[in-house]
Every structure is written in C-alpha cells, then in structure tokens.
C-alpha cells in the first residue's frame, strides 16, 4: 500500500520519503519507484535518519504502521499536516497496551498545537463512489509504467497461515497473494 501511495505522490509532484523494513526494500523504493529517499525502520538510528531526510518537515503522512514509526513521525509533522490512517500493522497482534509511559497526552498535544488532521478511513466505506474514476486513472498509470508493483504468489490455501504470519513479520516483498484453486 505504501509503495503505491508514494508513487501516486510522486506523480502528483510531491517529495516522497518512504519507510521500509530493510536495505533491499529501501533500495527498491528509491531505485525502482523513484522515491526521493527511504529510511529503514529497523535501523538503530531510524528517527535521526528520518529527521535528516525530512529537513522541511512532513505535510502528509500516510499511516499504516503505528508504533515506533508513528512516534518518530509525529514530531516532524508541520502545522496543518494531514495524516490519513488506513492501518496500524505494528499493533495487530497486541494483546495489551505497549510498555512504557502513556503517550496519549503527548499525541493529543501535538495534534492540538500543530492543528494536525488525523482521520481514519476504510476505502469502500468512505470513497466507493470515487472507485470508477480511481480505477480508470490507476489503470492508465499502470499501463504507462508510472506505477510499478511487485506481487509474491504463494500457492495453496494450505500455505495461507504461514504466508500471513510472514506478512506480519515483514518477510514479504510487495503484495503477498494466496493462489487458491486448481492450476
């Protein structure tokens, strides 16, 4: 999802800094997808690298991770920044609140002082009426090569659980698809 959002940002003229899990994925974002930079969220100095990569701050942050990535981004958000929230994968397996101090007041203070707009969305709950227009434009971008994508096909429903766990552990590279049915 983030790879597609970043490419759309580039098409629309934005400076795009990606965040990925590992040097290979970051190289792909920069070299193949034309992101301006990409920071490895597994790096020990992730927050410092992100700060250097965004010297003018962040106006739009597409949130689908949460956790330490969100913690590093929030201080870099510019006044009136927008944060569309489509997922929080770092929290999907959580059975309790994270260890450490409660950061809710800090987060709410950042949102208030910087006038940040954070809004969750589910594509077809909020934007289903725009899908035909999106499909037409996205189809043209894919056909012209402006949008690149990678798919990893896992064969068989019997491999679905292992594939899903691997997805949550960041083992995938691109979209992971389970092929179910006869060949």
E strand or H helix at 150: none
Question: Phi/psi of residue 77, each to 5°?
Answer: -70, 135
Same domain, 176 and 138: no
Same domain, 49 and 98: yes
Please say if the pLDDT value at position 90 is more than 80: no
Same domain, 61 and 116: yes
Same domain, 45 and 75: yes
Q: pLDDT band at residue 101, thresholds of 50, 70 and 90?
A: confident
Q: What is the pTM of this model?
A: 0.84
Same domain, 145 and 156: no
Please say if the pLDDT value at position 7 is more than 80: yes
> Domains in the chain: how many in total?
2
Q: How far is residue 48's CA from residue 58's CA, in Å, rounded to a whole number?
A: 14
User: 103-153, pLDDT tens digit by residue?
Assistant: 889 999 999 999 999 999 888 888 899 999 999 999 999 999 999 999 999
Same domain, 170 and 129: no
CA angle at 13 for the pair 8 and 16, rounded to the nearest 5°: 65
Same domain, 134 and 161: no
Q: How far is residue 60's CA from residue 167's CA, in Å, rounded to a whole number?
A: 25
Same domain, 113 and 90: yes
Instruction: For the chain, give the mean pLDDT.
Output: 92
User: 60-89, pLDDT tens digit by residue?
Assistant: 999 998 888 999 999 999 999 999 998 887
Taking residue 181's Cβ as centre, other Cβ atoms within 10 Å add up to 6
When pLDDT is averaged across residues 159-182 and rounded to a whole number, the result is 86
Same domain, 24 and 108: yes
Same domain, 45 and 83: yes
**Predicted local confidence at residue 123, as pLDDT:** 84
**Predicted local confidence at residue 132, as pLDDT:** 96
Tell me the C-alpha to C-alpha distance, in Å, between residue 62 and each of 40, 81, 117.
16, 11, 12
CB 68 within 8 A of CB 46: yes
Q: How far is residue 141's CA from residue 138's CA, in Å, rounded to a whole number?
A: 5
Please say if the pLDDT value at position 183 is more than 60: no
Same domain, 10 and 73: yes
**Predicted local confidence at residue 175, as pLDDT:** 87
Which position has the higher pLDDT, 100 or 164?
A: 164
State the CATH number of the domain containing residue 120.
Answer: 3.40.50.720
Please say if the pLDDT value at position 93 is more than 80: no
Q: pLDDT band at residue 91, thresholds of 50, 70 and 90?
A: confident
Work out the percent of the chain whose per-residue pLDDT is above 90: 69
Domain extent at residue 161: 150-183
Residue-by-residue DSSP string for 116-134? -EEEE--HHHHSGGGHHHH
DSSP code of residue 98: P
> Which residue stretches of 32-153 are H helix?
46-53, 67-73, 104-114, 123-126, 131-144
Same domain, 66 and 43: yes
Q: How far is residue 37's CA from residue 7's CA, in Å, rounded to a whole number?
A: 12
């Amino acid at each position: 999802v983030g790879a597609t959002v970043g490419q759309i940002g580039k098409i629309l003229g934005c400076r795009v800094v990606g965040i990925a899990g590992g040097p290979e994925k970051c190289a792909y974002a920069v070299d193949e997808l034309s992101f301006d930079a990409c920071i490895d969220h597994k790096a020990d100095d992730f927050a410092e690298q992100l700060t250097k990569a965004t010297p003018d701050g962040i106006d739009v942050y597409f949130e689908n991770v949460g956790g330490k990535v969100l913690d590093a981004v929030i201080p870099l958000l510019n006044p009136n920044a927008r944060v569309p929230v489509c997922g929080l994968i770092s929290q999907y397996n959580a059975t309790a609140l994270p260890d450490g101090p409660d950061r809710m007041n800090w987060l709410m203070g950042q949102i208030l002082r910087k006038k940040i707009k954070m809004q969750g969305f589910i594509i077809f709950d909020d934007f289903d009426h725009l899908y035909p227009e999106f499909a037409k434009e996205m189809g043209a971008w894919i056909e012209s090569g402006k949008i690149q994508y990678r798919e990893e096909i896992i064969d068989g429903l019997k491999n679905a659980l292992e594939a899903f766990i691997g997805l949550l552990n960041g083992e995938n590279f691109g979209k992971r698809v389970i092929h179910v049915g006869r060949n």
